[in-house]
Amino acid sequence: INVLVVGNGGREHALVHSLYTSPLVNHIYVAPGNGGTQNSYSNVSNVPIGYSPKDFPALVAFAKEKDIQLVIPGPEQPLVDGISTFFKKNGISVFGPSAKASLMEGSKTFSKDFMARHSIPTADFQNFNNYELAKNYLLKNSEKNFVIKASGIAAGKGVLIPTNTQEALDAVKQIMVDKEFGHAGDEVVIEEFLQGDELSILCLCDGYTIIDLPPAQDHKRIGDGDQGLNTGGMGAYAPAPLATPALLAKIRSTILKPTIDGMRKDGYPMIGCLFVGIMVSPSGEPKVLEYNVRFGDPETQTILPLIKSDLLEILYAAAEGRLDSVEVNIEKAFSTTVVMAAGGYPESYTKNDEITISKPLPENTFIFHAGTSILPNSTKLVTSGGRVIASTAIASTLEDSVKMAYVGVDHVSFKNKYNRTDIAYRAFKQQQS
Ligand code: ATP
């Protein structure tokens, strides 16, 4: 079949890398793709079409012309904007949820109400669409520690963690009055601050069946030891030893199953990748921090190389509502991803710096491009974004997968390359204690 992957990040490159060898695949198109998807594979091509709503008609016309049978949208925004329904109306299968189901990510007030309705464990919360009411609530509960969240999509920046009531009041003002995140701040969630360790659980869903992939832990902060500014994600590893079989069983029964059943019963079944951000309390209780309705980045670069089965067969089956008919075999190994960013990211950084990758890479080590492009009429690979490229390695121990991922990092050079040097440190700390 012909496949259209939508997006241009490391996640999309990792998807393409896991799909292109499928016996089912004829050709994969990536709109718009990046330097890694442009000419590394003989059966993959970039298509210069974007993915904002104004591009949807052009994407559908392209899909019809090329006889695309499966579309895999990568990022959240086109899903929230309704890309799935757009293709489905034209008879094309999509591995991705409807606009309504995408509200589980696109509106935090919606997802918190969903969790309350279906008794899914999450931080205690109140939703507000009125600044004065939100302010009074904070003043009345000044002894508590809160997290303040703009309800809409705010590029991962809409979550503020104040350390006292004044900062909490400032945060609500920033979101609701100063409109720092635009309409994303029309509503806020004020929720209880949770202590613990975070886990990312990515699940493949067809509305009924849910298959969870190896649990991962990512690294959102720019600096070693989780210091400094938040980023899109600087690295990940899986499976996280924190997720014991007992904890995973609890997550499946108290969170994953009620979520997929609740979404279906509410009339917006989850078809696609449900990504659940979970906080595990020091006593081992999992609570949902957030839902995403798409593959995570960089978790996807970490997890997909561990799937031994044909990914295309799985995603196609999920899109067509027959996920129970396929088997998903996972390699018993560890995977680690280290993201390399342009120096200065997540603040200002330079672009168009030449990238060189020395080959051959060691066995079981992969390079996934994100912010890269190939200059027109040339073969020169240059940087074109903040998170530039990532190295993933698989090994039988977590220690070795980390070591090899950093060997992969050494194979990549560009000006002011920056990466964290401590990916998976929490797992090692846990092992020592
Ligand atoms: P993402 O970039 O993953 O999409 P987001 O902006 O949608 O994130 P959340 O995942 O809800 O927002 O929150 C971002 C981060 O803030 C979490 O990964 C977690 O570290 C922290 N956080 C969120 N809610 C809480 C909470 N209730 N208690 C403690 N920390 C929290």
pLDDT (tens digit per residue) in 239-257: 999 999 999 999 999 999 9
Of residues 379 and 389, more confidently modeled: 389
Q: Dihedral sign, CA of 302, 308, 310, 315?
A: negative
Q: Which residue, chain included where needed, has tokens 């690979």?
A: 381
Cα–Cα distance list, 136 to 164, 326, 370 (Å)? 15, 52, 44
Mean pLDDT of 64-86: 97
What percentage of the chain carries pLDDT values higher than 70?
100
- Residue 337's SS3 state is strand
Is the per-residue pLDDT at 431 higher than 80? no
What pLDDT, on the 0 to 100 scale, is given for residue 307? 98
CB 286 within 8 A of CB 254: yes
Q: Nearest residue CA, atom 7 of ligand 1?
A: 156
> Ligand 1, closest atom to CA 290?
11
At 105, the pLDDT band (50, 70, 90 cuts) reads very high
For residue 222, the Cα-to-chain-centroid distance in whole angstroms is 17
Q: Nearest residue CA, atom 6 of ligand 1?
A: 156
What pLDDT, on the 0 to 100 scale, is given for residue 351? 97
Residue range 130-186 forms a domain whose CATH class is alpha beta
What pLDDT, on the 0 to 100 scale, is given for residue 157? 83
> Ligand 1, closest atom to CA 277?
10
pLDDT in tens, 213-235: 999 999 999 999 999 999 999 99
Mean pLDDT of 117-139: 97
What percentage of the chain carries pLDDT values higher than 90?
97
Mean pLDDT of 93-111: 98
* Ligand 1: centre distance to CA 64 (Å): 39
* Ligand 1: centre distance to CA 289 (Å): 6
* Ligand 1: centre distance to CA 160 (Å): 9
Does ligand 1 come within 6 angstroms of the Cβ of 194? yes
Domain ranges of the chain: 2-98, 130-186
What pLDDT, on the 0 to 100 scale, is given for residue 430? 81
Q: Nearest residue CA, atom 3 of ligand 1?
A: 156
Q: Nearest residue CA, atom 27 of ligand 1?
A: 193
Domain 2-98 CATH (choose: 3.20.20.100, 3.40.50.970, 3.40.50.300, 3.40.50.20) = 3.40.50.20
Query: Which of 159, 222, 275, 281 most suits a substitution to test ligand 1, by most atoms within 8 Å of the C-beta?
Result: 159
Helix axes 131-140, 165-176, angle to 10 degrees: 170
The contacts of residue 105 (CB under 8 Å, 6+ apart) are 76, 79, 80, 111, 153, 290, 291, 292, 293, 294
As a whole number of angstroms, the distance between CA 273 and CA 111 comes to: 16
Is the per-residue pLDDT at 260 higher than 80? yes
The phi and psi torsions of 414 (rounded to 5 degrees) equal -160, 165
Half-sphere exposure of residue 292: CA atoms within 13 angstroms, side-chain side: 21
CB 209 within 8 A of CB 263: no
As a whole number of angstroms, the distance between CA 296 and CA 256 comes to: 17
pLDDT in tens, 7-45: 999 999 999 999 999 999 999 999 999 999 998 899 999
* Ligand 1: centre distance to CA 4 (Å): 31
Nearest to 45, CA basis, from 60, 61, 26: 26
CB 158 within 8 A of CB 152: yes
> Ligand 1, closest atom to CA 195?
29
Does ligand 1 come within 6 angstroms of the Cβ of 156? yes
Does ligand 1 come within 6 angstroms of the Cβ of 423? no
Q: Nearest residue CA, atom 22 of ligand 1?
A: 289
At 432, the pLDDT band (50, 70, 90 cuts) reads confident
Cα–Cα distance list, 257 to 201, 250, 261, 296 (Å)? 13, 10, 6, 20
At 155, the pLDDT band (50, 70, 90 cuts) reads confident
Does ligand 1 come within 6 angstroms of the Cβ of 277? yes
Q: Nearest residue CA, atom 11 of ligand 1?
A: 290
pTM: 0.96
Q: Nearest residue CA, atom 17 of ligand 1?
A: 289
* Ligand 1: centre distance to CA 84 (Å): 26
* Ligand 1: centre distance to CA 148 (Å): 10
At 296, the pLDDT band (50, 70, 90 cuts) reads very high
Q: Which residue, chain included where needed, has tokens 């000044």?
A: 142
One-letter amino acid identity for 393? A
Is the per-residue pLDDT at 156 higher than 80? no
Query: Long-range contacts for 84-89 (Cβ within 8 Å, ≥24 apart)?
Result: 84/271, 84/272, 86/56, 86/59, 86/60, 87/59, 87/60, 87/63
* Ligand 1: centre distance to CA 327 (Å): 32
CB 427 within 8 A of CB 239: no
What pLDDT, on the 0 to 100 scale, is given for residue 341? 98
As a whole number of angstroms, the distance between CA 337 and CA 369 comes to: 12
